[in-house]
Structure 1
Amino acid sequence: MYLINGEWQASVPASDRGLQFGDGCFTTARILNGQVRFAEHHLARLQRDCQRLGIPAPAREILHTEMQQLAQQHDAGTLKVMITRGSGGRGYSPRGCDTPRRILSVSGVPPQYGQWRQDGIELVLSPVRLGCSPALAGVKHLNRLEQVLIRSHLEQLQAPEALVLDSDGMLVECCAANLFWRKQGVVYTPNLERAGVEGTMRRHILACLAAARWPVSEVREPPAALTGADEVVICNALMPIIPVKRIGQRQYTDRQLFDFLAPLCE
């Protein structure tokens, strides 16, 4: 069952534009001890992404109440919140779509993340590249076919996560995580103005680094930039941060950045 516009339902109409066109956005939050971790970050992201897509954002207070209503029923879990443009319009036109649809659900916690945090993971280079689209870059919209293809390739290799490039061959992110690396005293992360998802944990980490006056640079770099890195980490709202131990033949053993960020991201 899903909490859809405040009512428990099992389905949405086939006319919903999220189903028809991927016309909407979503966020995935961590539930811990009956609370939504970094709830304000997720609410802000939904508001921001709705604005980017021209969808009237649900009232922040209503959405926050519904998120917490679901979270308080669980000690731990994954809360997914989707906002679609609703039903209406003809073809691609959004005209007449006056009632956005909010869809909330809870699922389990990915069991592998705890082991990954302890042991670190290996990244493999994905053959699937992200299309450059400045109009949608950063938005966690409902069109995620590129990620589906990336995950399908990972499952064929039985690999945990992928290093994902854009169509120009530049670093963007992982299949379901953002990417950071440290070279000496500077932290780098891909610039997301052309492709990728601006994750809530990425924003939190950037704020933590800024508060600590740790130099950070958002860059457009090829994967060769990671060869000279001292350390690589990946993050999302559920992980929340994981060290990378290997990319190709390059091994990483330093955890200075990870050790600094881990307690700040819980």
Structure 2
Amino acid sequence: MLINGVPEERVSALDRGLLYGDGLFETLAVADGKPCLWRQHLERLRFGCERLRLTPPDPVLLDEEARREAEGHHRAVLKLILTRGRGGRGYASEHARAATRIVQLTPWPERDEAQCAAGVRVRQCRTRLGQNPALAGIKHLNRLEQVLARGEWSEPDISEGLMLDAAGRVIEGTMSNLFLVRDGRIFTPCLSRCGVSGVMRQQVLEACRALAIPLLERDIPLRDLWDSEALFLTNSLIGIWPVADLDGQPFDPGAIDRRLVEYVMERRFHSG
């Protein structure tokens, strides 16, 4: 782990990321010693910095640190964390010092990739997502809603939980974005009020444009899930997970356009 470029595992107790969740993070796949979809993750980090009025890190420096940590690893997970740095007591940020930059490498999660590709079990979560357009889309450090939602189940055969907002609209999974397939079209929840706009979600949007597959971003009520032919989940590590079962209702992974799956999965470990 590197903290501001130095091998270290400790941050100051006065760091605003620790005190207030004042910061951002990115989670990247590493393949054959290189961070995957680097440009896309860096663009989202810059967008989050603009939203939070954080000074973005030097991209050349961050690239050097990320590649130094990833070098020599066939498969791993790289996490980038950026906080506003140390600051005085209280929420006001004008006294914050230089941003804290953390680059952390961890092992690739142990999963049965073939089984996941065939379809995963998913459940609904009771914990709801609060609505806040100022934070919608970005991957900020405050993940307490996801922590509470993930604590709702312990069954090893359930891979993910779906989260709704306070108005009952379906938004995303605890660690993934959601897509529905119906009548030859793909739908994905609007993320203007809450939720994370994932890098792999963006890959799906681009794939649908390239393959001329109709895709709509809109509000999705819970009933739309049950009327769908197929559901699938995405994030930078899993690529695409078809949903085989949601709270006991089966779905057909075969209803997902194979061209889309191949397009996205082929780019899952792209280092661009």
Aligned equivalent of 2:105: 106
1:17 to 2:20 alignment: no
Residue 255 (structure 1) shift = 2.5
Q: Distance in 1 between matches of 2:196 and 2:12?
A: 28
Give 3-state SS (helix, strand or coil) of 1:41's partner.
helix
Following superposition, the deviation at residue 249 of structure 1 comes to 3.9
SS across alignment from 1:132: coil
- Residue by residue over 1:79-112, the C-alpha shift from the partner in whole angstroms, topping out at 9 and shown as x without a partner, is 0000000012430011022411110111111212
Relative distance call for 1:168 and 1:18 in structure 2 (3 A) is same
Match of 2:217 in 1: 218
- Give the 3 Å change call, closer, same or farther, for CA 9–157 of structure 1 in structure 2: closer
The whole-number CA distance in structure 2 between the counterparts of 1:142 and 1:195 is: 14
Residues 164 and 175, structure 1, Cα contact 8 Å, conserved in 2: yes
List structure 1 segments (4+ residues) > 3 angstroms apart after TM superposition.
none
- Higher mean C-alpha displacement, 149-158 vs 136-145: 149-158
Aligned to 1:66: 65
Q: CA deviation at 1:78?
A: 0.3
Q: How does 1:85-234 map to 2 (within 5 A)?
A: 85-112=84-111, 114-155=113-154, 159-234=158-233
Report if aligned partners of 1:233, 1:258 keep a CA contact under 8 Å in 2. Answer: no
1:204–1:101 CA distance, 2 compared to 1 (3 A): same
88-97 vs 32-41, greater mean Cα deviation: 88-97
TM-score normalised by L of structure 2:
0.93
Q: Which moved more, 1:156-165 or 1:85-94?
A: 156-165
Shift of residue 58, structure 1, vs aligned partner: 0.5
Question: Pairwise CA RMSD of aligned residues?
Answer: 1.6
* 1:233-248 equivalences in 2 (<5 Å): 233-248=232-247
Work out whether residues 32 and 72 of structure 2, in 8 Å CA contact, stay in contact via their aligned partners in 1.
no
Q: 1:158 Cα deviation (Å)? A: 6.2
Structure 2: distance between partners of 1:113 and 1:96: 48
Change (3 A) 1:221 1:70: same
Identity of aligned residues (%): 35
> 2:28 matched to which residue of 1?
29
Secondary structure of 1:217 counterpart: strand
- Matched position secondary structure for 2:85: coil
Alignment of 1:72-87 (within 5 A): 72-87=71-86
Contact 2:130 2:166 in 1 (8 A): yes
Question: Larger RCO: Structure 1 or Structure 2 (Cα < 8 Å, ≥ 6 residues apart)?
Answer: 2
**Equivalent pairs, count:** 265
State the TM-score, normalized to the length of structure 1: 0.95
| Structure 2 residues not aligned, in runs of 5+ | none
Contact conserved, 1:50 with 1:56, CA < 8 A, in 2? yes
Tell me whether 233-242 or 214-223 shows the greater mean CA deviation: 214-223
